[in-house]
Amino acid sequence: MSKAVVLLSGGLDSTTCLSIAIKEGYDVYTLSFDYGQKNNKEILCTQEIVKYYSIKEHKIIKVGNVGGSALTNDDIEVPDYQGLPNIPVTYVPARNIIFLSYAVGYAEVIGAEAIYIGVNAVDYSGYPDCTPEFIEAFQEVVKVGTKAGINGRPVKILTPLMNLSKAEIIKLACENNAPLHLTSSCYRGGDKACGVCDSCVLRLKGFKEAGIVDPVEYV
């Protein structure tokens, strides 16, 4: 059975990606990151999600916090949703560059042929590291900067959610019986989701458009 690494944040999109990788028949290994995010609940969610799927190996990598983001800095407040600017203060500098770099290394070690990442360029917050252009460029880096790539077998970066709306992602997750009740999307990361940050608003909008009730609790 072919192996795949799934980047699992504990949120809706990455959990949907995990359900897709499993449905497509991969032997899945999950990788999560503690990068100093205020939403520590995310990490707890990843642990419950991997238990749900009986994932054989789940790594949580702790990486340094370079600052500069409302998601990691206590002195930068997470804003309520006010419409999405080009790049909001919740952008975490180089986050997916770092995450994918670890994932590529891990994939080489275990002999995985693919990496799943739940980036989306439709209902998203305008992050530059969630675009098709970024993924295409990083795939080129993998081709020329890894042993597997030089040998003609570069690890494939798969982005099955890239062109889906949030409603379409939610419908797909439900079709795959993904455990959305175990996920956390809120940027503030309280016991209950705030319902008013960018991530909560996009999630709630998606559930409404999908005609499905969000199973997580809100303030």
15 is in an annotated binding site: yes
Q: How many CB atoms lie within 10 A of CB 87?
A: 11
CA angle 143, 156, 124 (to 5 degrees): 110
9 is in an annotated binding site: yes
194 is in an annotated binding site: yes
182 is in an annotated binding site: no
What lies within 8 Å, CB to CB, of 2 at 6+ separation is 25, 26, 27, 112, 113, 114
Helix (H) or strand (E) holding 140, with range, is helix 132-145
197 is in an annotated binding site: yes
- Contact of 12 with 50, CB cutoff 8 Å: no
Helix 41-53 and helix 12-23, axial crossing angle in degrees, nearest 10: 20
Q: How far is CA 165 from CA 55, 160, 177, in A?
A: 27, 12, 18
12 is in an annotated binding site: yes
Distance (Å, whole) CA 40 – CA 189: 7
18 is in an annotated binding site: yes
* Binding site, annotated residues for ATP: 8-18
Binding-site annotation: residue ranges for Zn(2+): 186, 194, 197, 200
Annotated binding residues, written as ranges, equal 8-18, 186, 194, 197, 200
